[in-house]
Chains A and B, each alone.
Chain A
Amino acid sequence: MTRVRIDYCWVAVFAILVTFAVPWFLWGDSRVFAGLPLWLWWHIGWMGLTAVVFHLFARTAWDRGIVGEGR
């Protein structure tokens, strides 16, 4: 993939991370698991996933879109 294509991929990944931090598909759902609402468990898990993806970004793609715009 070209640099620009990879840039767009990262933008898409970030957009997905933002969008599904709230489990919209569970809207109105009141199921409870182990004392907490199911939607809260989704959120907790998603934030864990977000941290992992952010870590990967920091390791492999840091500086993207910021340093070396004139490439």
Chain B
Amino acid sequence: MSSESAHKILNDPEFRSLASQKNTVSLILTIIELTLYFGFIGLIAYDKGFLAEKIAEGSAITIGIPIAVGVIVLSWVLTGIYIFWANSSYDEMVKRVKKRVGG
């Protein structure tokens, strides 16, 4: 790609909105994932007592166990959210911009 045509695409409003949307979505999801995991680690480091509480009266299961499994499941759900957004919205935008600039 020549630098002129690259320059033109970069200034295309739709390309700019596509790029900034993609960055925002990636950034937000990354921050959520980091919060999830480091929150879990933080609980282990600073509030062991909370994780050691039982989920219900008479049950041996501690809150920590569903939370650990929950972090795994939510991580996967986050990748699902990204896929859903990318497949339905991002790919369409890419297709439109590409068609217009003839890429």
Partners in one complex: no
